[in-house]
Amino acid sequence: MSDQQLAVEMRGITKQFPGVLANNHVDLSVRTGEIHALVGENGAGKSTLMNILYGLIRPDSGEILINGKPVHMAGPRDAISLGIGMVHQHFMLIPVFSVGENIMLGREPVTGTDLYDHARARNAINDLTKRYGLALDPDARMGDLPVGLQQRAEIVKVLYRGAGILILDEPTGVLTPQETKELFVVLRDLVKSGKTIIFISHKLKEVLDISDRITVMRRGQVVGHLTTRETNEEEIATLMVGRAVLLRVDKKPAKPGAVVLRVEDVSANSDRGVPALKGVTFDLRQGEILGIAGVEGNGQSELMEVIAGTRHAAGGRVLLGDRDITTYDARTERDAGVAFIPEDRRGTGLVLSFSIAENSILGRERSPRFSWNEFVLRLVAIRDWARRLVKEFDVRTPSIDVAARNLSGGNQQKVIVAREMGSKPKVLLAAQPTRGVDIGAIEFIHRRIVQERDGGTAVLLVSAELDEVRSLSDRIAVMYEGRIVSIESPDTPEERLGLLMTGGGKAREGAA
């Protein structure tokens, strides 16, 4: 009976928001000592349910039992005292404080004269980190730590407050593959020492890898309770989306044509002024997808920006056909036929307060098609264009006048993809084209990228998801520390790519 004991039981939870039934009679039961995955697409109601469990939102009806006892929560304070801890997707940390100070925040040990007791704080943290095998320096400045360690500090903070039930909201969204692996080791150790974990995610591979049982949500309702060992990716995806989805990318062999884009010995600095690209050279051909694999922060973003014209090259050349476009700015590049799907969808690719129609001409507001003499906007042409894109790229929206902010992540990304593909580019730069996007939209965007390739566009793809790079690319360039260390074929084993990505392995094809 002990392994069947329920740490959390939520029964018939219903929450109505204006216009949306966010949770509709949701049942969730989490056993003590298990890792329970809560999956669903954006807007399925996962976050609402967890915010209810953490006392942030009060449900309209339904009851919650913690360790078998009915509870009533008026706020997170109650949840914390019941041993529930939440690690938010966006960290709640103060960058200028030390790790120790961040963890103690709100419960600082003090000496007799009300002074912060550094020694006791450090000891308490060292105790915790040792017990759970979480290496962490309590004196490091939080802002200096990599994201993975910041997340670890969040977990320690929650443990320090005595949590027995941990809610992790999309914990791997910000992590590199290595950091994800390390996190999973930590989570398994935590479960071994008796903690219960609720793991929210929409990355199915990870869910299958880490969880014991799975609850699937769609449109505010629970559509499936699964046992991880007895299910597979397809089944979960089908439940999540509500129809069968294609997880593999269906594509014919590429028919590469002439070289369209030539990058020669390009170097560039990062925002912080340190060299990020140290002599990158490669060719990109018509009708092929060249994928760039690499751990984030090895120069991929900078490479895309240099080609797209939003970052200055410190050296080298970029040739589009015979034209030297190294010094072109973003607008001239776009006019020359280089389209760019930037990695930061919300901050860079869209103006969130602008309507879909307005966003559909971002960067093209002076083109003859949409403006008269680069001055007066052709509103009719813009609206026609936006309507066409919305239709062709299946953007789910009631109208083209809806602000981009009010679209789901997948639909926001579709607006960008539509705009960039819609202009019939010669070269398409796609940086993290499906990051944070739900499965249905991923499927759609992948299909469009392949279509674009088949239509003769040269596609350069950067993605932190190795699976995505492998399934879409015709060739894979591995980047490490600002260089392309090898060019591989897409059926190269994952282990080899992983090794190359971290600076190991031997290059082939004479890559620089």
Partner 1 sequence: MPLGSVLFAFVVGALICLVTGANPVDAYSGLLCGGIGIACAQGENSALQISNTIVFLTPLITTGVAVALPFRAGLFNIGAEGQLIAGAIACTAIGVKFSGLPSPILLPMVLLGGMAAGALWAGIAGLLKATVGAHEVVTTIMLNYVAQWLLRYLIIGGPLQLREGTSTSLPIGHGARLPTLLPSDNSLIIFGLPASVYRVHTGLLIALAAAAIFAFLLWRTSFGYEIRAVGQSQKAARYAGISVRRTIILTMLIAGAFAGLAGAIQVAGVDHNLTDMYFSDTTGFDAIAVALLGLGSAVGIVVASLLFGALHAGGSIMQSDAGISSNLVLVLQALILFSIAANFVGAIRRGLPFGRASAELPPELPPAAGLMSEAAVPPPEPT
DSSP string, 138-161: TTSBGGGS-HHHHHHHHHHHHHHT
Report the distance separating Cα 323 and Cα 347, nearest Å.
Answer: 30
Interface region with partner 1, contact rule CB under 8 A, candidates 118-126, 345-353, 450-458, 487-495: 345-353
CB of 383 to partner 1, least distance (A): 13
CB of 379 to partner 1, least distance (A): 7
Closer residue to partner 1 (CB): 33 or 409? 409
Query: Any residues with CB less than 8 A from the CB of 367 and at least 6 apart, and which?
Result: 335, 361
Residue 401 as a binder of partner 1 (CB under 8 A): the answer is no
CB of 342 to partner 1, least distance (A): 6
Site for partner 1 in 305-334 (CB under 8 A): 308-310, 329-334
Closer residue to partner 1 (CB): 340 or 480? 340
Residue 273 as a binder of partner 1 (CB under 8 A): the answer is no
Report the distance separating Cα 312 and Cα 45, nearest Å.
Answer: 43
CB of 418 to partner 1, least distance (A): 16
Residue 347 as a binder of partner 1 (CB under 8 A): the answer is yes
- The neighbouring-strand residues paired with 487 are 477
Nearest 5°: CA angle at 38, between 37 and 40? 130
Which of 2, 253, 375, 491: binder of partner 1 (CB under 8 A)?
A: 375
Report the distance separating Cα 67 and Cα 88, nearest Å.
Answer: 23
Report the distance separating Cα 218 and Cα 409, nearest Å.
Answer: 16
Closest among 281, 290, 275, 340 to 310, alpha carbons compared: 340
Interface region with partner 1, contact rule CB under 8 A, candidates 157-165, 238-246, 344-352, 451-459: 344-352
Site for partner 1 in 63-102 (CB under 8 A): 75-77
Residue 422 as a binder of partner 1 (CB under 8 A): the answer is no
303 neighbors 282 (Cβ within 8 angstroms): no
- The neighbouring-strand residues paired with 275 are 269
Residue 362 as a binder of partner 1 (CB under 8 A): the answer is yes
Interface region with partner 1, contact rule CB under 8 A, candidates 98-106, 129-137, 220-228, 343-351: 343-351
Task: Please give the sequence-ordered ranges of beta strands (E in DSSP) within 356-455, or none if there are none.
Answer: 371-372, 376-377, 427-431
Residue 281 as a binder of partner 1 (CB under 8 A): the answer is no
- The neighbouring-strand residues paired with 39 are 201, 216
CB of 365 to partner 1, least distance (A): 5
Closest among 395, 459, 176 to 404, alpha carbons compared: 395
Report the distance separating Cα 311 and Cα 295, nearest Å.
Answer: 21
Closer residue to partner 1 (CB): 400 or 500? 400
Residue 145 as a binder of partner 1 (CB under 8 A): the answer is no
Which of 68, 379, 392, 467: binder of partner 1 (CB under 8 A)?
A: 379
Q: Whose structure tokens read 């776009």? A: 334
Residues that bind partner 1 (CB under 8 A): 51, 56-57, 75-77, 308-310, 329-334, 340, 342, 344, 347-354, 358, 361-363, 365-366, 370-371, 374-377, 379
